[in-house]
């Protein structure tokens, strides 16, 4: 059976070598109906016996079909360094042999991602914590047993793909070949130097249910990735930021012209924003990021322009984000003796503040902010003025 993932179909011993034969009795149309699952199953059925068999000799693996398989599966078999034959009676005729095309990890990444996307569409779910919880409930309700081999392994791999893709897309990472055998499918999700094995847990879940929920793996992945990621940070981006639909971000104030607040972590490779799919787990992280922001000092300078006192906050890359630091803004209320402030973040690393006064003062402040915005180039954030009350941004003026 093409879905025999935890066993081999036949072992042929030759002098000095061993050949494992894996059978697939589906025709091309049946294989093409499930391309992503067929890719994952074929990779597993070749790589596991090849890489994790006991003994000093690595066996060769032959995939045996009753009819010509689709071209995509021939490429998968070749990439996994298997061989291929089509059996049309006797004798058997080999039509493929070992060799490399696309890397197996690239094939696995594409297959798991496409499988998860297809599941989300089929089940009317989203690739989120809530979607995974609902998919688990539906999978358990089917009450499958391993005696129903194809259905059981299909559902198990679907669960692994769904969970793995939630982890990968939320935390960043990719599917990689496992260094040791822990599951029937030898791929794990790597997030930086961490590895998570959704297929091993999916196999356990299909037997024990909620005691082995994949939600636990998702929670652990978030916790461990968080601990290893670096410092959480809030950063401001322009209102038309190209990634606003993909990444988790919120406007500073409820206005389409407002700059956006993005949550992420500082890593060795730079700032890494969180995706929208991670929104459910970001409340605590936002608090941590705000605390980190409050702990960063900023240089405040007075600037007199036509009788109006400006405060210019700069001196580090987080100066503009001090617009989000309520306690800091309260000190500026006190410094200017003003209950209401006018604030602008025309560029990264710059926060401009003035007391709210006469219309001509607002015009003067707005003109200065627009000038800095125009000169900022790629660092530009917002040309608009934000009214602040008690350290809290309220509206765009």
Dump pLDDT digits (tens) for 305-342.
766 778 888 877 788 999 989 889 999 999 888 898 98
Which conformational region is residue 131 in: left (phi greater than 0), alpha (psi within -120 to 50 degrees), or beta? alpha
Last-in-domain residue among 102, 120, 143 = 102
Assess if residue 2 is contained within a domain: no
- Does residue 282 sit in the same domain as residue 148? no
Q: What is the span of the domain harbouring residue 175?
A: 106-228
- Does residue 362 sit in the same domain as residue 238? yes
- The set of residues, in sequence order, having a beta carbon less than 8 Å from that of 224 and lying 6+ positions away, is 194
- Does residue 160 sit in the same domain as residue 92? no
Q: Check: CB of residue 382 under 8 Å from CB of residue 257.
A: yes
- Does residue 238 sit in the same domain as residue 353? yes
Q: Is the pLDDT of residue 284 over 70?
A: no
Q: What does the alpha-carbon distance between residue 100 and residue 82 come to, in Å, rounded to a whole number?
A: 10
Q: Of 79-88, 135-144, 272-281, where does mean pLDDT reach its minimum? A: 272-281
Last-in-domain residue among 78, 102, 126 = 102
Note the pLDDT of residue 217: 93
- Complete DSSP assignment for 72-132: HHHHHHHHTT-EEEE-SSSS-EEEE----SS-HHHHHHHHHHHHHHHHHHHHT--SSHHHH
Specify the pTM: 0.61
What is the percentage of the chain residues whose pLDDT exceeds 90? Answer: 44
Phi, psi of 141 (to 5 degrees): -65, -20
Q: Of 30-34, 216-220, 277-281, 371-375, where does mean pLDDT reach its minimum? A: 277-281
Confidence of residue 99 (pLDDT cuts 50, 70, 90): very low
Last-in-domain residue among 67, 102, 137 = 102
Confidence of residue 278 (pLDDT cuts 50, 70, 90): low
pLDDT per residue as tens digits for the range 4-43? 888 888 888 888 788 889 999 999 999 999 999 999 999 9
């Amino acid at each position: 059976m093409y879905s025999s993932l935890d066993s081999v179909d036949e072992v042929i011993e030759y002098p000095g070598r061993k050949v494992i034969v894996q059978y697939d009795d589906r025709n091309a149309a049946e294989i093409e109906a499930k391309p992503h699952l067929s890719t994952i199953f074929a990779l597993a059925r070749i790589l596991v016996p090849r890489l994790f068999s006991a003994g000093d000799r690595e066996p060769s693996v032959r995939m045996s079909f009753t009819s010509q398989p689709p071209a995509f599966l021939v490429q998968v078999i070749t990439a996994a360094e298997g061989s291929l034959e089509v059996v049309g009676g006797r004798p058997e005729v080999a039509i493929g042999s070992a060799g490399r095309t696309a890397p197996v990890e690239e094939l696995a990444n594409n297959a798991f991602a496409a499988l998860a996307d297809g599941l989300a569409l089929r089940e009317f779910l989203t690739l989120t914590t809530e979607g995974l919880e609902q998919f688990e409930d539906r999978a358990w309700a089917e009450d499958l047993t391993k005696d129903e081999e194809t259905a059981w392994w299909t559902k198990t791999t679907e669960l692994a793909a769904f969970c793995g893709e939630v982890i990968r897309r939320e935390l960043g990472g990719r599917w990689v070949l496992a260094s040791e055998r822990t599951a029937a499918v030898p791929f794990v999700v790597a997030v930086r130097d961490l590895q998570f094995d959704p297929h091993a847990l999916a196999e356990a879940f299909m037997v024990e249910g909620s005691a082995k929920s994949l939600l636990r793996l998702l929670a652990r992945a978030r916790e461990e990735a968080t601990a290893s990621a670096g410092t959480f940070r809030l950063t401001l981006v322009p209102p038309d930021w190209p990634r606003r639909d993909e990444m988790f971000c919120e406007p500073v104030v409820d206005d389409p012209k407002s700059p956006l607040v993005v949550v992420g972590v500082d890593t060795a490779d730079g700032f890494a924003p969180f995706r929208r799919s991670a929104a459910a787990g970001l409340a605590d992280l936002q608090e941590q990021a705000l605390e980190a922001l409050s702990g960063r000092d900023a240089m405040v300078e007075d600037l007199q322009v036509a009788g109006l006192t400006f405060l210019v906050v700069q001196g580090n890359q987080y100066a503009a984000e001090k617009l989000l630091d309520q306690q800091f803004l309260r000190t500026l209320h006190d410094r200017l003796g003003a209950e209401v402030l006018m604030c602008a973040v025309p560029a990264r690393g710059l926060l401009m503040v003035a007391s709210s006064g006469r219309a001509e003062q607002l015009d003067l402040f707005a003109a200065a902010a627009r000038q800095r915005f125009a000169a900022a180039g790629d660092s530009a954030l917002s040309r608009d003025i934000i009214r602040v009350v008690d350290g809290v941004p309220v509206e765009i003026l």
